Amino acid sequence: MIETINKVIRKIDDDPAREWTVREMAEIAGVSPNYFSNLFKRVVVVHGPDMQKIHLTPKAYVKWARMSAAATQLSDGAFVGYPDDTCDRLRRRGEEGLVGSVD
């Protein structure tokens, strides 16, 4: 089932701006929404600022993926028009605690 979760994660990562629903994610995984939510929360973990493990719900992962994509855009200079120190400050905020992994 981990490969199924990874398939959903790849889809989310490819399109984090999409308005994902648990039902859509469950359909991709081929399971019920309730089963998918429970499995996802058991399997998907990010590491917080103190390296504590934080288990994410599907919706929380979508938010995390959006923040991660924004941090990448900031580090690539995508936010043109802001002073450099503002971009650096926003980038640091976006990256704090966002070192993720799937256990």
CATH number at residue 20: 1.10.10.60
Q: At a CB cut-off of 8 Å and minimum separation 6, what does 98 contact?
A: 46, 64, 67, 68, 71
Domain span at residue 94 reads 2-102
Q: How many Cα atoms within 13 Å fall on the side-chain side of residue 44? A: 23
Classified as helix, coil or strand, 32 is coil
Q: CA 16 to CA 5: how far, in whole Å?
A: 16
Q: At a CB cut-off of 8 Å and minimum separation 6, what does 74 contact?
A: 87, 90, 91, 94
Cα-trace Rg, the chain: 15
Query: Cβ distance 56 to 46 under 8 Å?
Result: yes
Q: What is the arrangement of strands in the sheet containing 53-55, beginning at the earlier edge strand?
A: 53-55, 44-47, 99-102
* Per-residue confidence in pLDDT tens, the chain, 103 aa: 788 999 999 999 999 989 999 999 999 999 999 999 999 999 998 887 788 888 999 999 999 889 888 887 776 665 544 555 655 666 666 555 444 444 3
pTM over 0.85: no
Number of domains present in the structure of the chain = 1
